[in-house]
Each structure stands twice: as structure tokens, then as C-alpha cells.
Amino acid sequence: MIERSNDNVLFRPIDRSRFNQEELVRPSLSQWKETVLKIVKNKLAVLGLILLVVITFFAIFGPHMVSYSYSDQSLTTRNLPPSSDHWFGTDALGRDMWARTWYGARISLTIGVAAAVIDLILGLLVGGISGYMAGRGKIGDRVDSILMRIVEILYGIPYLLVVILLLVVMEPGLWTIILALSITGWVGMARIVRGQILQLKEQEYVSAAQKLGTPHRKIIWRHLFPNMIGIIIVNLTFTIPQAIFAESFLSFIGLGVQAPIASWGTMANDALGVILTGQWWRLFFPGFLISLTMFAFNVFGDGLQDALDPQAKD
């Protein structure tokens, strides 16, 4: 190398090895960590989660915090406003509203979670089989198309009508409602699962794994399931409140849980007359809590969805 002026050190070639240490490494977060981080940053989603935890806590322990049971009637304590004795007041039959409200939370959450879990299992099964069999020879396509025809028809049936019909026929009760809700509820999940699987099957890494002879079970657990879990969880956060909503709706029109069992829907129905009599607490507590639960699930679900959506990077 010819140097014209060697007096200036600045113009000496640099030791290039020092760049290698400075090699740009932007810390790449794992998807789960990033998801959690995004949810934590979303204040509304955090609020939703906290509310859900609090509501669940009271659903479990609330009824035990007072000496009254949800079904104890008392002629002397009818329609009392909230006081230090009856925190949420009492209803027309003198039953403690606090015990009833949180007992109702228990019923609502149980129905919501149970119905959503059954939907999930059935949906995964049907949607999974359908999606996995699609494009797998004549038999595979046949299986897929039969399952999808069933799903298509069920999807066209207004589900609340079916639920109402079933409830007319069956013995009323908690499990009847759960069963009735799941009989049509799984269809949505099945469609989502099938769509996801069909989409994932198009992905190169899945077809590569297939061509390499990876066993089916391994493809399902290694490739398909982890990639679907996000959308499934998001869907759960929307089916649970839907089921809760449906239950309270059914209870409200008189098809839900039967007396003396309390549910937010039946309590709201019992309290309809208070518009005229002014016993606001009888409508307020169940009404507020059901709205709060819906709100909590919705904002948490939204936050989760945003966090899991790779396109929503802000």
C-alpha cells in the first residue's frame, strides 16, 4: 500500500477485527416473551385480567364471607337496601344479595368455562380431523367434505333457538345448559381449527416435514399445535363470555338454572319490577357484575389478540 502522507494516524487502515465484536445483535425476543410483554404494556388488557382474577376470587370465596346462604329466605328482611349486615341488600324473599350475587358468579363462570372447554375439545377434534384429512386422497377428501357439510348446516342454524328447544325438552339444570350450549357452540371452533390447519399445511416447513416422513403425531404436536395455540386461546377468551352471556340470557327468559339456584340472569329477571319500586340494588349488582365480566373478558381477549397478531407491531 502506498502512503502519501503517513503523518496522520487518522488515515491508517483500521484494525477491522473490532467491528466483529460490534456486530449488530438486536435482542430478538421469543414469541411468548414478546406476547407477554405486549399484554403487560396494554393497560386495558391488564385491567381485564385483574378484574377476572378478582371476580373469580369472589366467586370462590364470596359466598363464604357472609353467614347467609344464597337460598335462605326470611320474611322479616325483605327488600332491604345494602347495609353492614347485608352488603348488597336483600331481595323480595329476604335472601342475601351478596351471597346470591357471588353464587351467581360461580354459576356463570362454571357454565362459561365448561361450555368453552367442551367447544374447544369438540372443535379441535372435528376441525382437526377435517383439516388434516383434506387433500389426503379420496377418502380424506370425503371425510373432510362430510364433516364440513355437517358443520355448514349446523352453522346455518340459529344456535340460541336450538339451545332453547333443548332446554324445553331436557331437565333444567346447570349441566343441561352447558350441554345445550356446547351442542352447537363447537361449530365455530371447528371452522377456525380447520382453516388454520389448511393454512399451516401450505407452509413449507410442514410440507417439508411431511416429505421427510415425520410421523403424523409429531407433525401435529411439533408444527400444527404450537402455531394454532394463539388463535385458540384468543377464541376461548371470546367463547367464554359468549357462553356466560347466553346463560344469563336464558336464565332471564326463564330457561336457565331453576330456583333456588341463583344466576345473574335470573336475578336480573326477578328484579325487573324494581324499575318502578326503586330497589335499585336488586338490579344493579347482578347487572353491573355481568357487564363487568363481559368487559373484562372482552378487553383481555382484545389485548391477547393484538399481542399475538404479528402484523400489529405498531
217 touches another protein (CB under 8 A): no
What is the smallest separation between the CB atom of 38 and another protein, expressed in angstroms? Answer: 9
Number of chain positions touching another protein (CB under 8 A): 58
Among 101, 110, 235, 248, binds another protein (CB under 8 A): 248
276 touches another protein (CB under 8 A): yes
Region binding another protein by CB under 8 A among candidate stretches 64-72, 126-134, 171-179, 244-252: 244-252
8 touches another protein (CB under 8 A): yes
Q: Locate 307 and state its grid cell.
A: 399481542
Region binding another protein by CB under 8 A among candidate stretches 11-19, 99-107, 206-214, 217-225: 11-19
Tell me whether residue 114 or residue 299 sits nearer to another protein (CB atom).
Answer: 299
Query: 72 exposed, middle or buried (CB, 10 Å; 0-12, 13-18, 19+)?
Result: middle
Q: One-letter amino acid identity for 14?
A: I
231 touches another protein (CB under 8 A): no
Tell me whether residue 102 or residue 297 sits nearer to another protein (CB atom).
Answer: 297
DSSP bridge partners of 96: 90
Distances (CA, A) of 150 to 130, 190, 200, 266: 11, 11, 23, 34
CA 48, CA 39: separation in Å to the nearest integer? 11
What is the smallest separation between the CB atom of 215 and another protein, expressed in angstroms? Answer: 30
275 touches another protein (CB under 8 A): yes
313 touches another protein (CB under 8 A): yes
Query: 34 exposed, middle or buried (CB, 10 Å; 0-12, 13-18, 19+)?
Result: middle
What is the smallest separation between the CB atom of 169 and another protein, expressed in angstroms? Answer: 5
Q: In this structure, how many other beta carbons lie within 10 angstroms of the beta carbon of residue 167?
A: 21
Angle of helix 174-202 versus helix 97-133 axis, rounded to 10: 40
68 touches another protein (CB under 8 A): no
Give the residue among 251, 227, 211 at the shortest CA–CA distance from 310.
Answer: 227
CA 194, CA 189: separation in Å to the nearest integer? 8
Buried b / exposed e across 74-108, counting CB within 10 Å, b at 16+? eeebebbebeeebbbbbbebbbbbbbbbbbbbbbb
Tell me whether residue 3 or residue 85 sits nearer to another protein (CB atom).
Answer: 3
Q: Locate 163 and state its grid cell.
A: 339451545
Tell me whether residue 110 or residue 251 sits nearer to another protein (CB atom).
Answer: 251
Tell me whether residue 120 or residue 274 sits nearer to another protein (CB atom).
Answer: 274
DSSP bridge partners of 287: none
Which positions from 16 through 35 interact with another protein, judged by CB under 8 A? 16, 19, 22-24, 26
List residues near another protein by CB under 8 A: 1-5, 8-14, 16, 19, 22-24, 26, 152-153, 156-162, 164-166, 168-169, 245, 248-249, 252-255, 265, 268-269, 271-272, 274-276, 283, 287, 290-292, 294-295, 298-299, 313-314
